[in-house]
Amino acid sequence: MPTIYTEQLTDQLKAEAMRLGFTLAGVCPAVTPQGLSHLDQWLSAGYAGEMHYLADRRAAYEHPRHVLDGVRSVLMLTLNYRTIEPTAPTAGHGRISRYACGADYHDVIHERLAALSDWLRLQRPEAMVRGVVDTAPLMEREFAQLAGLGWIGKNTLLLNRTMGSWFFLAALLTDIELHYDAPHETDHCGTCTACLDACPTDAFVAPYVLDSRRCISYLTIELKGPVPHELRPGLDDWLFGCDICQEVCPWNHRAPLSNDAAFEPHSGAGAIELAGLFELDGEAFRSRFRNTPLWRPKRRGILRNAAIALGNHPDSAVLPALVRGLHDSEPLIRGASAWALGRFAANQIAGASTALRERKNVESDAEVLNEINSALTADFD
């Protein structure tokens, strides 16, 4: 295909992506990502935690052809989700990461990628095209940097001097040879360590290296079992995800707001009243959260997180919710509620120790019994 036509098609493809709501677009060749050795080191160190799917499909990360056979070009895209600034949560509420406050980004982005794919096939009917967003074995940040969209910061997120990091990444793969952008060669983090210093669970073992096992986002979303005791206080009032390393980043202070209606926060988004969550049975939880990002940890994960958040801020007003959690059918919820009630007892909140002792008499799960016994180390009321 002539160079002039290649450049024209690429420009038109980018323009169509902007029309569909994407905010940045860059194109790079489909090659083996340079960061593959870093991925191997990261996996070998165990930093992926329970995200075993990363190691299971390690070989597929070696080249985008494992996502689309015959691929020659990768169009990397961003979609800005920074909307209104969240307000500080009040007592008894849990914080939610900004990206989860509006529509499920997977649904939004897949719909737009499908439209962009259709447009490209209209121009080139013989083209093979596939759009992906964070579920395919593709090192998105590596390819975004190769496509000139930014650099990978010390908090391991892609950073752009204009957009900061408040954006989703998506990719459109095709067997067409497009016009490639120049890679982003410079790192603009400089000597700043704001993100590393602010992490309350010390998840960054070094600049550019995240131990997921200590990351609040991992602990509240990906981790299926109990949160390690020593990390629970660091979760503070986070119910789902965490934005701390982004909030303190200087590049995000100047990032523009999104006018994308899809990511406008739902009513009350940004913080959720926690006690009421313990009143939701499986069906009620599904009805409320099924089509939102909060569905990923399922009811057991969200209520585990809610119990920890309440335990970090003891308040007698929410004691009944934790007692309800202590008698939940799910052991993970009972164990987290026991830990939280232990914190209530330590703060001399009447009734907490009594509830723990009463549950101990009927509890049959060994892990939950360990949580109860630990919470009852001393007699507080």
Residue owning tokens 């109990």: 226
Contact 154, 196 (CB under 8 A): yes
- Sign of the dihedral through C-alpha 204, 210, 215, 219: negative
* Whole-angstrom distance, CA of residue 305 vs CA of residue 321: 13
Q: What is the largest CA-CA distance in the chain?
A: 82
Residue type, 268: G
Contact 145, 152 (CB under 8 A): yes
Contact 250, 161 (CB under 8 A): no
What is the residue-wise DSSP string for 27-80?
A: EEE----TTHHHHHHHHHTTTTTT-HHHHHTGGGGG-GGGTSTT--EEEEEEEE
Active site residue 236: no
Neighbouring C-beta atoms of residue 97, cutoff 10 Å: 21
Catalytic residue among 11, 56, 134, 381: 134
Catalytic residues: 134
